[in-house]
Amino acid sequence: MGAGKDAGVVTPREGGLMAQNVKVSLVVGHTSLSPGAWAVEPVGMYEYKFNTALAEHLSTMLGPEFETTIYFRDNMTIREAYHYISLWKPDMSMELHFNAATDPNAYGTETLCAPRSAAFAGVIQEAMCKGLGRDKGNRGVKTLIAPEERGFSSVYSLKCPNILIEPFFGSNTRDCELMLKNLERFCVCLVDGVKYYLTLS
């Protein structure tokens, strides 16, 4: 997975895109100056760098049947970033993060959403857990209802199905190992989840 980008610039996938393609926005959480949580070894990087690479890989894997755009929040507020995303009118959107805690034993996978995106969140939550091979640690879908809740501004900013994913805890060594060991399968399952959701909607 590569990690090149221009800060604050919308980066579309290259290639022939047809008008009927499903439009997916991938939002990289945090910014280069405020890069989010640090993941311990073997990941050994901040959220921003990890999820820039993840977004680029997912964009490639979604393939030509999807019109995928990667958005960055550099040099703007969350509200401003989602304003630009809304102008593109995506059919679905995912903001990419990973979790962290002061307790190094905290672990698991969760998805944040507004109530209207619960169905999409449920599909992607199960897809992530399948991709990581979790037999425990499925923290489920967290439906946000209060403005002070973490992630509220992001998940309520679009009319389309819109979620915030946190596949693993960067503060937990075993979770980091699990993510890297299963990274390719995780991406495959995530893409399959997107495709499966389209059969339901």
Domain of 184: which CATH number? 3.40.630.40
Residue 176: partners with Cβ closer than 8 Å, 6 or more residues away: 39, 40, 41, 42, 43, 168, 169, 170
pTM beyond cutoff 0.85: yes
In a domain, 8, yes or no: no
Please give the Cα distance from 27 to 72 (Å, whole number).
6
Domain range enclosing 93: 20-191
Counting as low any pLDDT under 70, the low residues of the chain are: 1-20
In a domain, 67, yes or no: yes
pLDDT score at 21? 83
In a domain, 1, yes or no: no
pLDDT score at 10? 39
pLDDT score at 2? 40
In a domain, 54, yes or no: yes
Please give the Cα distance from 167 to 129 (Å, whole number).
8
In a domain, 4, yes or no: no
In a domain, 7, yes or no: no
pLDDT score at 88? 97
pLDDT score at 114? 98
Report the domain count for the chain: 1
In a domain, 132, yes or no: yes
In a domain, 114, yes or no: yes
